[in-house]
Amino acid sequence: KAGVTQTPRYLIKTRGQQVTLSCSPISGHRSVSWYQQTPGQGLQFLFEYFSETQRNKGNFPGRFSGRQFSNSRSEMNVSTLELGDSALYLCASSQTDRQETQYFGPGTRLLVL
């Protein structure tokens, strides 16, 4: 099976812009989670989607949002970008929303100038 894919892999934006990142989970996986990874804060949970519904949400401002489509693909959006949003954004998928292994994609590296 193909792994989790994320697009784009790299992105440069300026402050105030918005960005949309895409994630395609492993075939058959219905749960998708998003994480932000920075050197100073490590891996931080953004949100989780299962069957098009947001099941869990981390402590991020409302500028961070996401959605999941009927084919389990997911997008996350960040509006009004700030310099501090520069990070590696990781998507992970698992078969269900129960406690089981999440498989990560390669991430999208976002640089905000």
Least Å distance, CB 32 to other proteins, is: 12
Least Å distance, CB 59 to other proteins, is: 5
Burial group, residue 87, by CB count within 10 angstroms (0-12, 13-18, 19+): buried
Between residue 60 and residue 99, which ones bind other proteins under the rule CB under 8 A?
60, 90, 92, 97-99
d(CA 87, CA 111): 7
Which CB sits closer to other proteins, 1 or 98? Answer: 98
Site for other proteins contains 102 (CB under 8 A): yes
Site for other proteins contains 2 (CB under 8 A): no
Residues that bind other proteins (CB under 8 A): 4, 33, 35-36, 40-46, 48, 55-56, 58-60, 90, 92, 97-107
